[in-house]
Amino acid sequence: MRDTSQHLLFNLQQFWAEGSLEKNNALVEYLKQYGVVRTDKVAEVMETIDRALFVPEGFTPYTDSPMPIGYNATISAPHMHATCLELLKDYLQPGMHALDVGSGSGYLTACFAMMVGPEGRAVGIEHIPELVVASTENVERSAAAALMKDGSLSFHVSDGRLGWPDAAPYDAIHVGAAAPEIPRPLLEQLKPGGRMVIPVGTYSQDLQVIDKSADGSTSVRNDASVRYVPLTSRSAQLQDS
């Protein structure tokens, strides 16, 4: 969770305790009020893709907190989804290509697909086959279902550290788990002029923003301190399940 989110989380928890926050668009409105959602483009896609369709039964979908989805994986907190969408929104224009590494529930991949549209490509890769099945079922119930049917949105079982060369290069790459260092294949699959958002570190993690220039050189900046599950092998992720 971002260090700056503590005040936001406290205030939203007060609101939830009153039983008032019941709908997806109400959560988005509160994220807007606290400055996490800053643009209409991000607000629109988060209102269109209902988070409740991607959170397992028995959990509160509109709580601003990560939720377990099984197999030692989580769906990130809404404020982190909003943060990453804001960082990547200019690289998710219609017709662009986006890669979601560690796609988990499929929520953010679905958001990417809605933003790049049917003429673009949104690819989610996840090394747990059961999560690929679940994410596919989640999307089939969502506003992004038609995009999966026409092939512009797809999920694949693969080691996220290797990317997905078939649809490369990507204008936008998002990594939903923390890597000890930026995986070289992901840098290679990032399009010149594109952007990657990835948490980097082990115990201490930073959400890094990597921009690749036209000549292939990259610049890196830290956006926030975060806490993500590790980007690792399937066997390592499952060992404590």
Catalytic residues: 76
Contacts of 55 (CB under 8 A, 6+ apart): 61, 67, 69, 75, 105
Are the C-beta atoms of residues 210 and 222 closer than 8 Å to each other?
no
Contacts of 176 (CB under 8 A, 6+ apart): 76, 100, 101, 102, 103, 104, 108, 228
Which DSSP symbol is given to 178?
A: B
Are the C-beta atoms of residues 213 and 203 closer than 8 Å to each other?
no
Rounded to an integer, what distance in angstroms lies between the CA atom of residue 84 and that of residue 103? Answer: 13
Helical residues (DSSP H) of 89-128, grouped into ranges? 107-116
Rounded to an integer, what distance in angstroms lies between the CA atom of residue 18 and that of residue 148? Answer: 38
Rounded to an integer, what distance in angstroms lies between the CA atom of residue 68 and that of residue 48? Answer: 22
